[in-house]
A and B are shown apart, each in its own frame.
Chain A
Amino acid sequence: MDVAAPAHWTLLEVLRYRMGLTGSKQGCDKGDCGACTVLVDGRPELSCLTLAALAEGKQITTIEGLMPAHVAAGGEGADPVQDAFDRCGALQCGFCQPGMMLSARALLNGNACPTKGEIKDALSGNLCRCTGYTQIIQAVELAVAEAAGVEPVSPAWAPHENPWRSNGTAPANETTER
């Protein structure tokens, strides 16, 4: 896609104010918070510190592009990471979510079965001020478990249970309507 913008505009400004793609958030705007994370040729990078002109010719994936990419690859509905964040309640205000989910997607693209430590490392550049991270990490673990076809780790508030009903273990209406 071709977009015209002044030389001193960042990639984030072009995405939000030229293309109307407001999914990438403008948080600190100086590289601390991770809310503006996008995938640049598949790598998670910060669009607030990327000069738009220097991103020319690169493939940029924003949160808006996750579901279309999933569908194009033969999947149904939202990206499994988005679906898991939804079911785990891994958000309150939602501001950090696009960046969180893109960092998680980049991790899973390179490592289908990460450990909890690897998940924490991969998300360590994204700040969340509401949820306390627990459900966020659970959501990534859920996406990993379901992709691998195994039971997810039970959360502390529901020991020995799978409150998210991984696909196939519960009636369809319970999976979709919590």
Chain B
Amino acid sequence: MLRLPKFEIARPTSIDEVVALLSEHGDDAQIIAGGTDLVPNMKHELFTPKVVVSIADVPDIAGVRVESDGTLAIGAMTTLHDVASDERVRSIAPALGHATALISGPQLRRMGTLGGNVMLDTRCQWYNQTHFWRKSLGYCLKKDGTVCHVVQSGQKCVAAASNDSAPALMTLDATLVFHGTDGRRELPIDDLWRADGIYNKHVSGELLTEIRIPATPRGHRGAYEKLRDRDSIDFPLLGVAARVDWDDAGDRVARAEVCLVALQARPVRLKKVAELLVGKQRASAELDGAIEASAERAYKQCRPLPNIPGDHEYRHEMAPVFVRRALRACVRASENASDAAGV
């Protein structure tokens, strides 16, 4: 039985009220959306806020819409279930559709939100434990202690970004809309992250309200592949999002992206891995060779640490396998979609 530490609940009904509460209470406030990350973390006493600010009553921050220029705008409070099952998401941003459908299990996808998954706390097997467990170990660098149990004598926390939506949104050039005391601002998702496991984001005291994905070209294909022990519930042991855009004629790769998560504190974009595919002919030996070369290069570029459960050497060996699978899923999708209209 895990009891929550005491706190008060605030239920603001506008973005301005949320921002005011965050500004008033500072580090003593925590935003709760779906609660699927925050509540277990509070039960583990990783967060002990005085005020929990619910954003459930804030209007207009849930729902999916497509704007006139084709931009896909998803409210931060949209549940993962609603994102994963939305036809517009699946056709404009297939990698995000795949990724959100694979987050945790059915119940948590109905509670958890896309904004919450973007803002997910980093995870580590020495951190996501009860207070009793952590205390018996003398705590760790990320919370209450001074020692890292992953990298002996490490001075920097290496807890892993574990949000499946993050690499998918990175392949899609997503922009995040934040509201703070200085008003509204848009931040490209790549600029959100920093390589610090204690807090891997460049924002604080702001409310994420919307995730914006620019229109994808006709030849856009995307996929997400997730390694985990069970096909449900688990966080990723490795996540790979891939993007392949065919050119206007539909026969050569115009653009490719590969982004990974669950390796280190921030999701990573493997630019040099993806660019091997650019210019390659559709359904050719040259494209197959490029996918193999990408997988090999991904193996060399990523170094999983023993930060999350699962043998890190196994996770390393699986990196090329999952990069290959994700890229092949993109290429395969294009062969099936004869009208090049989506999915």
Residues of A within 8 A of B56 (CB): 54
Given contacts A51-B52, A54-B9, contact A124 B105 (CB under 8 A): yes
Q: Is the CB of A8 within 8 A of B6?
A: yes
Q: Is the CB of B54 within 8 A of A8?
A: no
- Which B72-111 residues have a C-beta within 8 angstroms of A? 104-108, 110-111
Q: Is the CB of A125 within 8 A of B233?
A: yes
Q: Is the CB of A30 within 8 A of B2?
A: yes
Q: Is the CB of A10 within 8 A of B4?
A: yes
C-alpha spacing A45/B104, complex, angstroms? 12
**CB of B133 closer than 8 Å to a CB of A:** no
**CB of A24 closer than 8 Å to a CB of B:** no
Chain A interface size band reads 20 to 34
**CB of A53 closer than 8 Å to a CB of B:** yes
The chain B residue sitting closest to A33, CB to CB, is B233
Residues of B within 8 A of A145 (CB): none
Q: Is the CB of A31 within 8 A of B4?
A: no
Q: Is the CB of B106 within 8 A of A122?
A: yes
- Which B1-52 residues have a C-beta within 8 angstroms of A? 1-9, 11, 32, 35-36, 39-40, 43-44, 52
Secondary structure of the B side of the interface? loop
**CB of B231 closer than 8 Å to a CB of A:** yes
Q: Is the CB of A43 within 8 A of B35?
A: no
Q: Is the CB of A125 within 8 A of B1?
A: no
Number of A-B contacts (CB under 8 A): 84
The chain B residue sitting closest to A44, CB to CB, is B107
**CB of A74 closer than 8 Å to a CB of B:** no
C-alpha spacing A82/B254, complex, angstroms? 55
**CB of B181 closer than 8 Å to a CB of A:** no
Q: Which of B2, B9, B104 contacts A7 (CB 8 A)?
A: B9
**CB of A97 closer than 8 Å to a CB of B:** no
The chain A residue sitting closest to B54, CB to CB, is A54
Residues of A within 8 A of B44 (CB): 30
Q: Which of B43, B111, B233 contacts A124 (CB 8 A)?
A: B233
C-alpha spacing A74/B108, complex, angstroms? 32
**CB of A138 closer than 8 Å to a CB of B:** no
**CB of B204 closer than 8 Å to a CB of A:** no
Q: Which of A7, A9, A26, A125 contacts B108 (CB 8 A)?
A: A125
Q: Which of B6, B35, B232 contacts A50 (CB 8 A)?
A: B35
Q: Is the CB of B4 within 8 A of A50?
A: no
CB distance from A139 to the nearest CB of B (A): 18
Chain B interface size band reads 20 to 34
Q: Is the CB of A37 within 8 A of B5?
A: no
Residues of A within 8 A of B40 (CB): 30-31, 49
Residues of B within 8 A of A26 (CB): 1
C-alpha spacing A7/B11, complex, angstroms? 12
The chain B residue sitting closest to A28, CB to CB, is B2
CB distance from B53 to the nearest CB of A (A): 11
Q: Is the CB of B6 within 8 A of A31?
A: no
CB distance from B106 to the nearest CB of A (A): 5
- Which A1-48 residues have a C-beta within 8 angstroms of B? 6-10, 26, 29-32, 34, 37, 43-46, 48
Q: Is the CB of A45 within 8 A of B9?
A: no
The chain B residue sitting closest to A30, CB to CB, is B40
CB distance from A14 to the nearest CB of B (A): 12
Q: Is the CB of B7 within 8 A of A125?
A: no
CB distance from B90 to the nearest CB of A (A): 16
Residues of B within 8 A of A53 (CB): 9
Q: Is the CB of B107 within 8 A of A37?
A: yes
CB distance from B338 to the nearest CB of A (A): 26
CB distance from A173 to the nearest CB of B (A): 38
C-alpha spacing A101/B8, complex, angstroms? 34
C-alpha spacing A49/B110, complex, angstroms? 12
8 A-B residue pairs with Cβ-Cβ distance under 8 Å, sorted by A, are A6-B6, A7-B6, A29-B2, A46-B108, A49-B35, A49-B108, A51-B32, A54-B54
Further pairs besides A51-B35, A124-B231: 7, Cβ < 8 Å: A45-B107, A49-B108, A54-B9, A54-B54, A54-B56, A122-B106, A126-B105
